[in-house]
Amino acid sequence: MNVPNFSLSTEASYLKRSVMRDLLSLATSPDILSLAGGLPASEYLPLKQYQACLNQVLNRGSHCMQYSPQYAPLREWIAAYMRSRGVDCDVRNIFITNGAQQGLTILSRLLLDPGQPVVIEAATFTGIQQVTAGRGADVRTVPTNLETGVDLDSLEAAFKRNPRPRFAVIIPDFHNPLGVSLSAEKRHVIADLASKYGVPIIEDDPYSALRFEGDKLPPVKAYDEAGYVFYLGSFSKMLAPSVRLGWIVAPDELIPKITVFRESIDLESSILTQQAVY
């Protein structure tokens, strides 16, 4: 059989398969307990509680089976949750996504053209690599201190270089894969650096709600007086991986643009899932 000689996009040549796929195929083996990914023990996931929530939503009627705008009560809950963490926002700043990874994809498309510079940590989550190097970005990497988080001198040096980066991606809590959390002092400085150099920060924060001990620290977004920090959260880590629901906190004037990018990917998140999570 002859195989057509397709002409593929430039992005297809840059984008590499996520190592998470290989990890998941190994980690789901019954004789392996993996500590390498976001895979909690299945017997501890809230199966009965989530089933009860789904039933409650379904019992209200068939509207939950339709296409629907983002669920306003869930957006309001998220806004209140973010305010409880010190972030100045309201429902106009909240955009629901299918997990934090989709938030990364949307913001990368919003802010970055191929060939433009971005800043990421030298060791970082594979999904961050996919939305930067995987889209043909000129990637500038900075080291991470294993006690206090990203190296600020290197971060500032990367911000100073011309052309200025289109954005930087920072994982503030329980870094994947390094495990480190940013110190309180560094969170404040990162927000200041973003404002000083006009470089947006994408704060990828799926894990902060899972703290077992120590003080809860405000996100970088809590120190963002100039509006340069975009925050990403995820219910996939707060409830269960298969929920695949997250959110972006962004300036309200950019939400219409974010909405259009989202529509070009998969239109919207399941209203059934949104209502059950709420």
> For position 193, which CATH number holds?
3.40.640.10
Q: Is residue 46 in a domain?
A: no
Q: Is residue 125 in a domain?
A: yes
Q: Is residue 45 in a domain?
A: no
| Cα(249)–Cα(205) distance, integer angstroms | 11
Beta strands, E only, 136-254: 138-142, 144-145, 149-150, 168-170, 201-204, 229-234, 246-249
| Cα(121)–Cα(209) distance, integer angstroms | 22
The type of residue at 229 is: V
Structural domain boundaries, residue 226:
92-266
Tens of each residue's pLDDT in the chain, 278 residues: 676 888 888 888 887 777 666 777 776 677 777 776 677 888 899 999 999 999 999 999 999 999 999 999 999 999 999 999 999 999 999 999 999 999 999 999 999 999 999 999 999 999 999 999 999 999 999 999 999 999 999 999 999 999 999 999 999 999 999 999 999 999 999 999 999 999 999 999 999 999 999 889 999 999 999 999 999 999 999 999 999 999 999 999 999 999 999 999 999 999 999 999 99
Q: DSSP secondary-structure letter at 36?
A: S
| Cα(98)–Cα(46) distance, integer angstroms | 19
Identify the helix (H) or strand (E) that includes residue 94.
strand 94-97
Confidence at residue 20, expressed as pLDDT on a 0 to 100 scale? 66
| Cα(204)–Cα(99) distance, integer angstroms | 11
| Cα(33)–Cα(14) distance, integer angstroms | 33
Confidence at residue 4, expressed as pLDDT on a 0 to 100 scale? 85
Confidence at residue 166, expressed as pLDDT on a 0 to 100 scale? 98
The pTM is what? 0.93
Give me the number of domains the chain comprises. 1
